[in-house]
Chain A
Amino acid sequence: MIAVELRKLARRPRTWATLFLLDLLPTVVAVLLAVTHLGPRPGQGPAFLSAVLANGSLFSVAALAIVLPLFLPVAVTVIAGDSIAGEAQAGTLRYLLTRPVGRTRLLVAKLIAVLVFVLVAVVVVAGTGYLVGKLLLGGQPLTASTSVAGVTGVTSVSGSTLTAGQIALRTVLAIGYVALSMIGVAAMALLLSTFSDSPLSASLGALAFLIGSSLLLPLDAARGIAPYLPTRYWLSFIDLFRDPILWRNVERGVLLQLVYVVVLLGAAWANFSSKDITS
């Protein structure tokens, strides 16, 4: 069933359009940076963007930071919101279920397909970021001085030097973490998708949930519920580039996303498995 869902996803032109758009933004940023050499002022703009001017190989991580706050979640909600509601709208849901496909199995297969999409999207963004960074930003004078000194490495957030191997490992971890961060949103969109027969309203609902979370996060009054907000630990992938790695928030981020999946997928299951399919 998972394979079937993946095939469906892979054969949709929209999936590829989404991936393309996800890649476009970091590429545009890289081109602009390479042309203007204007990094954001400290404390502003996405993480690592000022650092990539010094070393282009960090641009894969910077690209993740660029798409993480908005582009990636929008892509996830669009794909995940479509999962059940899209089938309902097209009328294919009733044929799937009388095939028969178990309702719980369908839900899980849909979620896994979305997650595979997210992982592919994140890997592609990071890969594009790496290539673009090497091509457009790699030849900066500071990098040249690095090679003169005989040390090839990247400065960690804590100011120490990380070897290429360490950076590669941490980038892989960051890719995994960013992909995992989307799992809560995906589950939310999936839940709404079981309530609504309109993919659009499911996607927008999940997006509203995210925007709500992002708005609450900086409020002092919401401090008490902040650890429960789905976007709370999103940017913690930066902690993977501190030296030593600060696991605290990363661990919490992973746990929080898993809790969201359990609760939201549970609710989706409770709703969907006893729902009258009238579409």
Chain B
Amino acid sequence: MRRGWRWLVVAAATAVLVALPFAAHLLPVAHSSVSAAQLLTRIQGSAHVQYSGYAESSGGLALPVTTRFNSINDLFGDRTQLRVWWRAADDWRVDSINLAGERDLRRDRLGVWTWDYESNTAERFVEAVVPIVRLPRPDDLVPATLARRLLSQVGAAQVTRLPDARIAGHDAAGLRLQITDARSTIEHVDVWALPASGLPVRVTVFGKGDSAPVLTSSLLDLSTSAPPASQTAFRPAVTAKVRSSQFGDIVAAVDQFGQSTPPPQLAGLRRAPLHLGSVGVYGQGVTALVAVPVPPRLARTLARQLAGTPGSVSVSSGGSEIGALSISVGPLNLLLSAEGIDDARWLLAGTVTAPTLLAAVAELPPAAGFR
């Protein structure tokens, strides 16, 4: 005992120090009386709410694609740390943080600046040519942006309230969107938002039959005061390489220069209105698919990659193979059609079931070449 008391002191101090971070979770959460319908309306109209914060998203999707789609793999297959400053829907800044650098997006009224520290490159996309169809970007994973997208066309009947939770030091009200569409592979989407302003602070997406979420994005720090304009403005450093870009990514390029014409409806899902490029976006919210005509060279690479990926299936119809490849990555289904004109193919991807994709590909015309 004469010697042991010191160890007891140290053990007790250690226990207290280790337990301290958990103590914050024990604080009582103020109960909010907001109804599901009210909360939904506030979330849908929260794009003007100013805030800044630090968010972390994590996805469990390991996509069997490389090279030109690397950025999506990083977004949905890994953890992403984001710093957000939000002044308005056309005045914000999202920094995607990594250990040795960062990739930033700054939105202003005229367009978007991207900044990549490691390549010391700033790139400008002017709004006139900012495409509606593009690959996912880090800002799409910001909880508020993601929640508004997923809940955009949802009606009050589809949502229920979830218990309140304490997120990023704020009391947030929970909302669950239950997906009833049989074509969807998503089970439900849970959103927590500040009850007064409707600012979403956490989103979790669950696939059908999954116990763990396929995608989570949550604010870890949140300040609800308006960030200064200087924080979102961008003036590239003199030493930076500055480029101006006509189109953003490969999908945007395909959309503008492809010659395919997707039909107005696929597998019973309607094509997004006001968009007439060669990439087709169908459905809404979380029951959606995209049909991209893939140029021949990329199509060959993709076909090789998909065929070599464990779990990929050569699609057969009526007992014979039709040259199409499909694969399921969690709730995401991918399908690469048979060769069309000049070896171009359709790539279909969506959070819809494999049969839905099969039905969709049958309704598409052969993929066309490029101008």
Please say whether the chains A and B touch (CB closer than 8 A).
yes
- In the complex, whether A273 has a CB less than 8 A from a CB of chain B is yes
Of B7, B83, B118, which is within 8 A of A270 by CB? Answer: B7
Instruction: Please judge, given known A-B contacts A263-B14, A266-B10, whether A157 and B102 are in contact too, CB under 8 Å.
Output: yes
- In the complex, whether A227 has a CB less than 8 A from a CB of chain B is yes
Mask of B47-66 contacts with A, CB within 8 angstroms, 1/0: 00000001000000000000
- In the complex, whether A145 has a CB less than 8 A from a CB of chain B is yes
- A187 to B209 Cα, complex, angstroms: 48
Q: Output the nearest chain B residue to A152 by Cβ-Cβ distance.
A: B238
- In the complex, whether B17 has a CB less than 8 A from a CB of chain A is yes
Using Cβ atoms and an 8 Å threshold, which residues of chain B touch A235?
99-100
A-binding segment of B228-236, B291-299, B321-329, B357-365: B228-236
Whether A242 pairs with B95 at a CB distance below 8 angstroms is yes
Whether A158 pairs with B21 at a CB distance below 8 angstroms is no
- Residues 130-189 of A contacting B (Cβ, < 8 Å): 142-143, 145-146, 149, 151, 153, 155-161
- In the complex, whether A209 has a CB less than 8 A from a CB of chain B is no
Using Cβ atoms and an 8 Å threshold, which residues of chain A touch B115?
158-159
Of A54, A149, A157, A263, which is within 8 A of B10 by CB? Answer: A263
Whether A155 pairs with B239 at a CB distance below 8 angstroms is yes
Mask of A251-269 contacts with B, CB within 8 angstroms, 1/0: 0000000010011001101
- A274 to B238 Cα, complex, angstroms: 62
Nearest-neighbour CB distance to chain B for A241, whole angstroms, equals 9
Whether B238 pairs with A149 at a CB distance below 8 angstroms is yes
Whether B104 pairs with A159 at a CB distance below 8 angstroms is yes
Q: Output the nearest chain B residue to A267 by Cβ-Cβ distance.
A: B10
- Residues 112-127 of B contacting A (Cβ, < 8 Å): 115-120, 122
Using Cβ atoms and an 8 Å threshold, which residues of chain B touch A142?
239
Instruction: Please judge, given known A-B contacts A43-B118, A274-B6, whether A266 and B231 are in contact too, CB under 8 Å.
Output: no
- Residues 220-279 of A contacting B (Cβ, < 8 Å): 227-228, 235, 238-239, 242, 244, 246, 248, 259, 262-263, 266-267, 269-270, 273-274
The bracket for how many chain B residues form the interface is 35 or more
- In the complex, whether A42 has a CB less than 8 A from a CB of chain B is yes
Whether B10 pairs with A160 at a CB distance below 8 angstroms is no
Nearest-neighbour CB distance to chain B for A94, whole angstroms, equals 19
Whether A42 pairs with B118 at a CB distance below 8 angstroms is yes
- In the complex, whether A47 has a CB less than 8 A from a CB of chain B is yes
- A228 to B14 Cα, complex, angstroms: 12
Q: Output the nearest chain A residue to B60 by Cβ-Cβ distance.
A: A220
Whether A160 pairs with B235 at a CB distance below 8 angstroms is yes
Whether A158 pairs with B240 at a CB distance below 8 angstroms is no
Using Cβ atoms and an 8 Å threshold, which residues of chain B touch A159?
104, 115, 117, 122, 234, 236-237, 240
Instruction: Please judge, given known A-B contacts A238-B99, A270-B7, whether A42 and B239 are in contact too, CB under 8 Å.
Output: no
Of A161, A228, A239, A266, which is within 8 A of B18 by CB? Answer: A228
- In the complex, whether B249 has a CB less than 8 A from a CB of chain A is no
- A110 to B168 Cα, complex, angstroms: 40
Using Cβ atoms and an 8 Å threshold, which residues of chain A touch B6?
269-270, 273-274
Whether B240 pairs with A42 at a CB distance below 8 angstroms is no
Instruction: Please judge, given known A-B contacts A155-B120, A274-B3, whether A47 and B100 are in contact too, CB under 8 Å.
Output: yes
Q: Output the nearest chain A residue to B116 by Cβ-Cβ distance.
A: A42
- Residues 75-126 of A contacting B (Cβ, < 8 Å): none
- In the complex, whether B128 has a CB less than 8 A from a CB of chain A is no
Whether A155 pairs with B13 at a CB distance below 8 angstroms is no
Nearest-neighbour CB distance to chain B for A138, whole angstroms, equals 13
Instruction: Please judge, given known A-B contacts A55-B239, A149-B238, A248-B221, whether A158 and B102 are in contact too, CB under 8 Å.
Output: yes
The bracket for how many chain A residues form the interface is 35 or more
Whether A47 pairs with B95 at a CB distance below 8 angstroms is no
Nearest-neighbour CB distance to chain A for B52, whole angstroms, equals 10
Using Cβ atoms and an 8 Å threshold, which residues of chain A touch B157?
none
Instruction: Please judge, given known A-B contacts A235-B99, A238-B99, whether A160 and B120 are in contact too, CB under 8 Å.
Output: no
Using Cβ atoms and an 8 Å threshold, which residues of chain A touch B10?
263, 266-267, 269-270
Whether B9 pairs with A266 at a CB distance below 8 angstroms is yes
Whether B17 pairs with A54 at a CB distance below 8 angstroms is no
- In the complex, whether A51 has a CB less than 8 A from a CB of chain B is yes
Nearest-neighbour CB distance to chain A for B48, whole angstroms, equals 23
Of B2, B14, B102, B240, which is within 8 A of A242 by CB? Answer: B102
Using Cβ atoms and an 8 Å threshold, which residues of chain A touch B235?
160-161
- Residues 18-59 of A contacting B (Cβ, < 8 Å): 42-43, 46-48, 50-51, 54-55
Q: Output the nearest chain A residue to B100 by Cβ-Cβ distance.
A: A47
- A159 to B93 Cα, complex, angstroms: 12
Whether A146 pairs with B238 at a CB distance below 8 angstroms is yes
Using Cβ atoms and an 8 Å threshold, which residues of chain B touch A158?
95, 102, 104, 115, 117
Q: A43-B100, A158-B117, A263-B13 are in contact. List 20 more A-B contacts (CB 8 A).
A: A43-B98, A54-B120, A155-B239, A157-B101, A157-B102, A157-B117, A159-B115, A159-B122, A161-B237, A161-B238, A238-B100, A238-B101, A242-B83, A246-B54, A248-B220, A266-B10, A270-B9, A270-B10, A273-B6, A274-B3
- 11 A/B residue pairs, CB under 8 Å, sorted by A: A42-B118, A48-B100, A157-B101, A158-B95, A159-B240, A160-B237, A161-B237, A246-B54, A266-B10, A266-B13, A270-B6
Chain B interface residues (CB < 8 Å from chain A): 2-3, 6-7, 9-10, 13-14, 17-18, 21, 54, 83, 95, 97-102, 104, 115-120, 122, 220-221, 231, 234-240
Closest 4 CB pairs of A and B: A42-B118, A270-B6, A159-B115, A155-B237
Chain A interface residues (CB < 8 Å from chain B): 42-43, 46-48, 50-51, 54-55, 142-143, 145-146, 149, 151, 153, 155-161, 227-228, 235, 238-239, 242, 244, 246, 248, 259, 262-263, 266-267, 269-270, 273-274
